[in-house]
Amino acid sequence: MSDACPESPRRPLPWILLVLVLSPGPTARGQDDRPNVLVLFADDWRWDTLGYAGNRVVQTPNLDALAARGAWFRDARVTTSICWVSRATLFTGQWMARHGLERGNEPIPPGAWDETYPALLRESGYWTGHVGKWHNGPFPAGEFDSGTSYMGRHYMTLPDGTEIHVTDRNERDALRFLADRPKDRPFCLTLAFFATHAEDPNPKQYLYQPESASLYEGVTIPVPATATEAHFRALPPFLSTEENEGRIRWYWRFDTPERYQESMKAYYRMATEVDAAIGRIVSALEGQGALDDTLIVFMGDNGYFHGEHGLADKWYPYEESLRVPLIVVDPRMPEARRGLVNDDFVLNADVAPTVLAAAGVPIPPRMQGRDFAPLYLDADPPAWREEFYYEHPTVSNRERIPSSRAVVRDDLKYSYWPEWDFEELYDLEADPFEEHNLAADPAEAGRLEELRSRLAELRKEAR
């Protein structure tokens, strides 16, 4: 894993040719000159699954081009690393401790929905849409001007009998929304890709499209240095067991060198397919003359273990699980600041208030995230958070996915597992891969006590 930005982030896009011609429609919006909003939310897509992030294997030319035109937030994180909680946080701008949707597939209550960014933008005159994964109870189609939701499988059959890949359907539905929308109003579309999430019951896990089969052939995917049995055994005792869900899924994907290569190549193929779909959607906006009027946000819903610590998937408060990609292209961004790389802690809770502020809609007091646009718009950016609170619920039981809480700073992380009364302390400057738990070190007693108090304060604030 590298934090290095590519030497030439504006390098040519070598192999995907994206051509989509649409008849330019009317773009005038009368007196309403607010930006369109396109939120691209990718599933299980960790921060470094981007060529722009220094990954020399994965091919994401369209996302790299967006980053070069906008801003890339290299240290973006999530407040809870699991699908449904992260999505509720995206819409509400709230920590799980406040929105309370921790048990899985719970609907956002009507009163809380009224203060989400799609609801508030619709109320203010935006044409709103949702495409793809929902995972917050039954899909509330009536809360959008246009919406459809589906997830769980990589291939599905349409009513006319056509078999279609979920990413292809995501793209078709998004293009239909853009083609059919009223052109005299600003729009807000949330496109929630299911990829690169695995199809869990399927032995192949990552079912890419046939035309992607030649991608990454002849390539050897580097294995993380911490993807060893010794690193797994060094985890807290309640995680270094075969009942741990992260270990169970490691057997599904990474337990042999051959399976590791097969899984990672399939995962990267699905990522490249999402990238290509995004390229065609961006081309559609350009064909409509709307691209320069559209705020684009690309983010992942949680990080992902690629075998680090002997684990797969997410949930646990280690860096691979918390850290996600975040790219923003904003029409307001000065030309001189395009291509910006930012290292502040920008969170999934910050997306909703940022979108609302860009549209000139007041941010509800219950939103806990912050408008982060000044970080890329202002020549002299404001001071930003230097720490954040992470939380995760128990899923099923404490042996499978136990609850956890953490204080995360640039140089330090303190994690607490309440069901096991277990602490972890990592010096992230000296130990960026979290290999040496310092919680039992007597020399750290003072720092440990300060972090315990700070965790209690942050948890109270989050509620």
Question: In this structure, is residue 18 part of a structural domain?
Answer: no
- Return the structure tokens found at 367: 């939103």
Structure confidence at residue 424 (pLDDT): 98
What is the token pair recorded at 350? Answer: 């910050």
DSSP per-residue letters across 272-297: HHHHHHHHHHHHHHHHTT-GGGEEEE
Tell whether 343 is covered by a domain.
Answer: yes
User: Residue written as tokens 């192949």?
Assistant: 204
pLDDT tops 60 at residue 160: yes
Partners of residue 131 on adjacent β-strands = 148, 191
Residue 31's pLDDT is: 54
Residue 437 lies in a domain: no
Q: Is residue 2's pLDDT more than 80?
A: no
Q: Report the candidate in 408, 245, 389 with the shortest Cα–Cα distance to residue 311.
A: 245
**Nearest alpha-carbon partner for 300 in 144, 89, 115:** 89
pLDDT tens sequence across 371-411 = 999 999 999 999 999 999 999 999 999 999 999 999 999 99
Kindly report which listed range (107-111, 171-175, 182-186, 233-237) carries the lowest average pLDDT score.
107-111
Could you tell me the residue range of the domain that residue 165 belongs to? 36-383
Residue at 12 is within a domain: no
Per-residue pLDDT, 25:
38
Residue 360 inside a domain? The answer is yes
Average pLDDT value for residue range 186-193: 98
Q: Which residue has the tokens 């597939």?
A: 105
Q: Residue 240, Cβ neighbours under 10 Å: how many?
A: 17
Report, as an integer, the average pLDDT of 82-111.
93
Q: What proportion of the chain, given as a percentage, has pLDDT over 70?
A: 93
Q: What is the mean pLDDT of the chain?
A: 93
pLDDT bin (cut points 50, 70, 90) of residue 104 is confident
CATH number, domain containing residue 111 = 3.40.720.10
Cβ-based neighbours of 407, under 8 Å, separated by 6 or more: 387, 388, 389, 390, 413, 414, 451, 454, 455, 458
Domain-located, residue 373: yes
Average pLDDT over residues 328-346: 96
Could you tell me which residues come within 8 angstroms of residue 410 by beta carbon, excluding any fewer than 6 positions away?
75, 345, 386, 428, 429
Within-domain flag for 417? no
Query: For the chain, how many structural domains are there in total?
Result: 1
The predicted pLDDT at position 26 comes to 36
Map tokens 């315990």 to a residue.
452
Domain-embedded: residue 456: no
Task: Check whether 158 has a pLDDT greater than 70.
Answer: yes
Hey, which residues does 412 pair with through a beta bridge?
427
